A and B are shown apart, each in its own frame.
Chain A
Amino acid sequence: MITWMRRNLFRSVTDSLLTVVSATILGIVLVQVFQFVFINGRWEIIQVNLKILLVGRFPDELMYLVGFSILAICFSIASLAGGLERAPNSIQNLPAKLWGLFQRFGLIAATAALLIVLAADFDAVAFGGYVLMSIVAGTLFGRLRRTTALKKLPGWIWVLLNASLPMVLIFITIGQAALEEWGGFLINFYLAVVSITLSFPLGVLLALSRRSSLPLLRWLSTTYIELIRGAPLFVLLLLAGVALEFFIPSSIAPDAIFRAITVFTLFTAAYLAEVIRGGLQSIPKGQAEAGKALGLSTVKITFLITLPQALRNVIPAQIGQFISLFKDTTLAGVALSVFELLNVGSAITKQDDYLGQGLIYETLAFVALLFWVGSYVMSRESQRIEKKLGVGLR
């Protein structure tokens, strides 16, 4: 212990000085944070407005749909994980496995627990229990696939089966509760997921065009990518906010969410294109040449050989792009007045009961917590995937 301290903290005089200074800074910060969170913080505003922060002005009577969607998503993810992941002779004993799971999902679980504590009613605790049950059920269901005859089902049907339940529920939710009423953290997530999914085909198209041997295509895609990459996202959102309706026939009145999704999609597609292009460049030429030797056409080579490998190689970078987009959804709140989490956080401090009391610290801390946990967990998962795939090591 002493040796460790000597080596790491007190190597020399300057070193010791640095240690003292940094320890003091860390100490002060930690004490302040502790005092803020547990002693001085007036968290009532968060507790009262928890629903608005998380789902906006979602109609109360339809909240069960959100609940069911979450349960369905947990179930599907758990069963996909249980079913696809081939665990060979698991020599890890249960405690070690649990520790591994804790490391991976501990933060999310802790945040969920915090939300339940803040909600402070029995329904929230019950819901937490339901989520746990659905995760367990999902894992068991996934195991079923590996052990029973369902093994014979091709992978994509299994995926479709699992994905269909949450999809159906999400469809129903959207149908019942108009998107204008969604808000809070839910809408940040929704914007990010929909935008990145829609931007994917466009991004692939742009990347392929930029690397194509056809000069016109290359020119078109390069112009688009460079134009978008030189433009600030905020200004694009502002432009869409006032000008999008001019570019479509006047019978459609775009609402803020539509505008946001349009801009985010077009914007992310350009960045994704660069990421995918990097991936394509990293594939050795031999792969394409082997494809040619087999007599495959260029299109087939691209879609069967090069592109899948390229996409797999840049999964971490794609996840990085998603995290970026997830954080950028806050811009939709200021540019288009979408009722997203940060916007809600600033707005609730102006409610009659809380105006002028300086509660902005508490609300911003809560908003920061949610965003931080989301981004941190996603980036850690992407690092894990990177390690698993052995990207860059081969």
Chain B
Amino acid sequence: MQKLFSAYKQLSLIAIVFILLCIGGCNKQESTVTPAPPSNEFLTTVELLYQNAADATDTGRAIWRQLDPTGSAPPDTSKAFLNLKASSNYNVQVLILDETKTPPDTVSIVIKERVNYHLFFFQPTPISPANLVISNTSTDIPVSDGTFTSTTGPYLNLVVTRTDVDTNNPPLQVGLTDNFVTGAASTGWLRVVLRHQPNVKNGTFDPGSSDLDVNYQVTIQ
């Protein structure tokens, strides 16, 4: 009887240890932080290649360039000009390069591979508050994100629409290719911002962070 009791005790002890081990093994979560490896890719150059839809000879290339990856030196804006004809329709392509490489690396190819969470915004200024449209299909940038509106003008008569979409469901616009429609002769600025919106892209400006933010002078004549 004593031997049986001893056996019971041994078995109970083992069972308790086993149960405690099981409980200890349950419900523990694994967690890891994965940082990006050091990047050697820079967005040094943003080019807007434009062609008049009604006149194939009316083309241009506006270039914004910042070859100093630290950003401490001012950008080269000597070619950051768009000269557009009044009352015209232009097909525009955005080309992004890394000119620290030889030959230059075409970063816009990488953007195209990652369109599902990238979105370009184009903000012509000066613009009237009435013409600033904030929606998930508009290229305009909210006032809270740096757009200055003017109630007096004169305004830059330029309307930008994106012409490409991503593979999200439903598809969202991208902005690597665009349509610029000009109105009457005017001058102003065009701010181009590329938003990186990983898993938060919804067509609006606010989610995510900016991969680039550059300005071009615009003349419509």
Asked if A and B bind, the verdict is no
- Please report B residues at the A interface, Cβ cutoff 8 Å: none
